[in-house]
A and B are shown apart, each in its own frame.
Chain A
């Protein structure tokens, strides 16, 4: 069982590495640098305005730390075939789960440390936390995460609904109370209580697992769900074959579709607009990048950085939409329709203009909301128009024509 987990973990890590290489391509690294830089800049400039009177911030920090505990789950790496093939060795599965627990722990620690690290300047500013108190808070957070993970392992076994409810509420409410005590009374008190809770969860786990059975179906489903979440994340940046975008009817968009021309010259446009709006793959991409871009623009202020961000995000969206042109190439009818050959590209360019134009307008509004002067907004408008023109009329034609 030890070996089995080891094997699966290696395969899993290889796969993750493969995708990470694809994710951290040049485009993304640039965008990420801007993203982290922009956020860091905004955070540090905001920190300068924080004083010891802003005690509400402590409440926010407490809630943030508490919510941070929910991040990262148990990576069981179970597969649906296991319900058949591992069933006879159910008892031995406990060692397997322990390995999973250990791996998940290693994944969770850095996240929690970074999380505590991010909020610690606030605590030092508002509550005059010393280094030792911060250490105690870190211990509290890690112990609480430990008890959270232990409970997640316990839940891999079948519990009665009663046990489920009690264990979950002990953990959630306990963590909230301990966090409140740590921040409001004394961090060392929090640390001691958190360690006690973690110990208690471990003791209970040891008591309960021998008396119950593995919750196979639920475990396999939750692992599949976890993997799907990871794949979805990767799918933002690269094509993951395991994630096929699905189709939603989105009836509320029908009014929008009716505004589009529906005649022979726009037959492909008819198809493209519907495919774009109802397929989750490309529409999701556009929506996410537009929202991230607009939020960043708003926080970065109205300097050159904002203009660079705007240009980069519009380019990223336009660039990633180009494969949509070939979306229907495997449908034979698109080749045998009696339509003039250049119409397809023309319709696609029209769609691209519409999408990038909308994104551009949203970016302009975000930019304008940062109290940019009209002259600056005008400058960005000109830049957007030029960029979209180049992307649509020149680059798209070059790549697809």
Chain B
């Protein structure tokens, strides 16, 4: 397996947000991390990318943990945040170069890939601009290009669909398919459940800091036959939040 989270207990302060979470992401697999606001999705992601240290449990990435070899661990990881985060003083071109430098990528090869990505997301004529002044969707695209520039083994994508135009969503899903075919894993958190239902190989449903259920869509449907037909219905009934309508 690529990513293994086992018995993770963690959070921002003394009080744990995540209560004993275990799941895995296999190579070539796209796993959807689903949950309501405050369910613990972002906390889980922050633990995996190393911003938070687990109180208990372990996170291993192809056998490496942050504690055993931080650099090797980080080298395998690329991250696309929910809100685009950019350097105010760097141009688009320099954002890409910075990523190449930080990940120690071969410049010629990386630029080949970058140019292809820039063309796909229609950013190729904005290389000398400051992306900090771009619109939300375009900033998001810069994040995507930077992340997919790397040769990461695990891509962590936090809510990628909001703010992107339909064409970009399509291109992103295509891109995810491409890296999957190359054996990389993708962990994606999202609220857009119908897209997730169509594209994710497996799901991890988080609720109140615990894993409600996990598995493929068919597995989940088989386990909860009365919950409904779509991921949306199943999720709503599983969280136990009822609406009086």
Contact = CB atoms under 8 A, between A and B. Distances in A.
Given A279-B89, A336-B50, A338-B102, A249 B74 contact: no
Interface residues of A, number: 24
Interface in A247-273: 247, 249, 262-264, 266-267, 270-271
B78 to A, nearest CB: 9
Contact of A274 (B50, B70, B94, B132): B94
B97 A247 contact: no
B101 A266 contact: yes
A271 B95 CA distance: 9
B74 A262 contact: no
B87 A271 contact: yes
A14 to B, nearest CB: 32
Interface in B60-114: 70-75, 77, 79, 81, 85-91, 94, 97-98, 101-104
B102 A339 contact: yes
Contacts of A338: 71-75, 77, 102-104
Interface of B: 49-51, 70-75, 77, 79, 81, 85-91, 94, 97-98, 101-104, 130, 132
A198 B94 CA distance: 58
A247 B79 CA distance: 26
A337 interface: yes
B155 to A, nearest CB: 12
Interchain residue pairs A-B with the least CB separation, the first 3: A338-B74, A337-B102, A338-B75
A337 to B, nearest CB: 4
B79 A337 contact: no
A279 B90 CA distance: 10
B142 to A, nearest CB: 12
Given A262-B97, A270-B98, A332-B79, A337 B74 contact: yes
Contacts of B132: 247
A247 B91 CA distance: 11
Given A275-B90, A331-B85, A341-B70, 13 more contacts: A247-B88, A263-B101, A264-B104, A270-B97, A274-B89, A275-B89, A278-B89, A332-B51, A332-B85, A335-B50, A336-B77, A336-B79, A337-B103
B81 A332 contact: yes
Contacts of A204: none
24 contacts: A247-B88, A247-B89, A249-B91, A262-B101, A263-B101, A267-B98, A270-B94, A271-B87, A278-B89, A331-B85, A331-B87, A332-B79, A333-B102, A335-B50, A335-B51, A336-B49, A336-B50, A337-B74, A338-B75, A338-B77, A338-B102, A338-B104, A339-B71, A339-B102
